[in-house]
Structure 1
Amino acid sequence: MPVELPDLPYARDALHPHLSAETVALHHDGHQRRCVEAVNTLATGTDLEASPLEDIVRNSQGALFEAAAQAWNHAFYWQCLHPRAGGEPHGRLAERIAQQFGDTARLREEFNHAAMAVFGSGWAWLVQHPDGRLAIVATRNAATPLTGDSTPLLACNLWEHAYYTDYQNDRARYLQAFWKLVNWDFVSARLR
């Protein structure tokens, strides 16, 4: 069964004014769609041809891994955003953040620092390690925590196509907008 491009969980213009409909369309309908198409082409005739996307990411290498990881990372990223989101986390997630970082402001500061330190394209993540600790990690290109032991909770896409149309090369302004869209309910639901 081929991998399919998942629908966005909201309308293309729903993230405006923080992300424009043009950026969302370029990102989802263009880049992410090409990754999904590449996965289907590259997986054809392999042992992974009928596998779910997560299994392809975990069990592939080379070009197939790059396409599958990018397809998965993008689908995850859209879930991390919501038009009526932002604000502050609550409940168990807020408690974990306070334990690990002191408060949400400190989490944002450390996350932004990691995101700004990525040279070129990549991702910034909030993850939960198997021992329950939260951590911030940055990955280059298509790399993803999905291939390790930690559970991805939150992702920020640092590829230029994610923000160039709206913010040019000003990644710091994009990060400010990102925090206004973070879907804390989705992040909280992923806690173990």
Structure 2
Amino acid sequence: MISDTTYPFRLPRLPYSYSALEPYIDRRTMFFHHDLYFDLLTPAGQKFPPELAEAFGGEDNWRQQMKAAALGLFGSGFVWLVRDESGALKILPLPNQDNPLSDGMQPILPLDVWEHAYYLKHQNLRSDYIDSWFQVIHWDGVRQRLQETAKP
């Protein structure tokens, strides 16, 4: 994960083509920004993790909470699915470059709401971008991070 990064850093290759997430995330955005968090995106559909369904009352509730947090974040930043110090799962909107590690929380899934993440395809329609982002989440990768961050 984040703490396992060593230098010199080499940009990891994507396990799919830059256009594989179309029509949800366009090829140009993938080409320019795939180093940010695209290992948690995939063109193949996967099942929503039961642990998240339990924590948030189902997939629809989780989506509504993530979207509300992303639309409510003024300016640029990320909305994070995190595990807090007690082991609880939370949605944490943070402005700019702030991240959950600074607050002692473990990042699981980031939703990038910096304009560069969606402007080429969606221009200023952040809501449309968020709806597209939901379609390409790599739930197997999220499950792995849920396991990695679970308290023993």
Q: Is TM-score (shorter-chain normalized) higher than 0.5?
A: yes
Please, which runs of 5 or more residues in structure 2 have no aligned partner?
1-6
Please, which runs of 5 or more residues in structure 1 have no aligned partner?
33-73
Match of 1:166 in 2: 121
What TM-score does the superposition give when structure 1 sets the normalisation length?
Answer: 0.68
Q: Give percent identity, aligned residues only.
A: 36
Match of 1:153 in 2: 108
Give the counterpart of 2:13 among 7, 28, 36: 7
Residue pair 1:116, 1:171 contacting (<8 A) in 2 also = yes
The CA RMSD measured in Å over matched residues stands at: 1.6
Counterpart residue identity of residue 119, structure 2:
Y
Give the counterpart of 2:70 among 115, 124, 143: 115
Q: CA deviation at 1:149?
A: 2.2
Alpha-carbon spacing, 1:169–1:152, altered in 2? closer, same or farther (3 Å): same
Measured against aligned partners, the alpha-carbon deviations of 1:123-150 in whole angstroms (never above 9, x if no partner) come to: 0111112322110001111111133322
Return the structure number with greater helix share. Answer: 1
Q: CA deviation at 1:168?
A: 0.8
Residue pair 1:122, 1:138 contacting (<8 A) in 2 also = yes
What TM-score does the superposition give when structure 2 sets the normalisation length?
Answer: 0.85
Would you say 1:79 and 2:17 are equivalent positions?
Answer: no
Match of 1:128 in 2: 83
Secondary structure in structure 2 of the residue aligned to 1:172 = helix
Match of 2:138 in 1: 183
Q: Where in structure 1 do 4 or more consecutive aligned residues deviate above 3 Å?
A: none
Match of 1:105 in 2: 60
How many aligned residue pairs are there? 141
Residue pair 1:126, 1:136 contacting (<8 A) in 2 also = yes
Which structure is larger by alpha-carbon Rg, 1 or 2?
A: 1
Q: Which whole-Å CA distance do the structure 2 matches of 1:155 and 1:114 have between them?
A: 12
